[in-house]
Structure 1
Amino acid sequence: MAMKTPLIALAAIGLTACATAAGRLDTAGLSELYIADFTSTDPTGCTTADVDLSNDDAQAFFHRARQLSEKALADNYPLAPCRIEGTLKYDNMPCDFEISAAMTGVIRCERQRWHFACDDCEALFGR
């Protein structure tokens, strides 16, 4: 009986690691990207004009952007109060994405999450 507890704990740790460790995402596998919504926590300070991307622009964003850890993104890039949200497929798996006015983004597929920042996407954002 004492042997089961360590094995259960080890299995739980392994499952948690698999759920949170999301290696590199190959952006060549992205398809069917569609913008669905715009959200802003500061509608007077951050509007659709700040993140006015087409579906093609959003796909270009992910191709140009660098993939970073969540910590690197939080430590080195500002948070923007507005973003576009949508859906895409990654290797035929349905996923959600967000791109913020700070030129940062995230793709979520099931339990995996990839974070992005684009330092040379000003033209996509009309800046």
Structure 2
Amino acid sequence: MIELFDLYQDLKLCVEKEADLIAEDNYEDLAEIIEQKNILINKIDQIELKDFFRRLAFEVSSQTELQDKKTELQNLVSKINELQNKNMANLENKKEEQKEILIALYNREKSIKGYLNPEKYEAKFFDEKS
């Protein structure tokens, strides 16, 4: 019974680490965390929820306790989902930032190339535009 909760707790920790790594632009370690998340998700997928809750019903002492455990699990899954959505939004923002940097570098590269060719007078034009 505890196994599913533990897997979700581990998944939540991975998602929280993922947020920190995104903020730090540490994409190498981020790839490792994503791999760990995928392993955890595969383990979670292998657990049959009906069987899990049937076993859980025999382990708890009352219907109220069973409902509390279900609610706890739902809250945990909701929190993971919320954190994951924030991570995806942060990654999308980082992607846009990197895109803007690359465009700026590309524009600077065009003006530098213009200066390398003395027969062309386009460098000043590119400089003024970028």
Superposition TM-score, scaled by structure 2 size? 0.26
Which entry has the higher C-alpha Rg, 1 or 2?
2
Larger strand fraction of residues: 1
Superposition TM-score, scaled by structure 1 size? 0.26
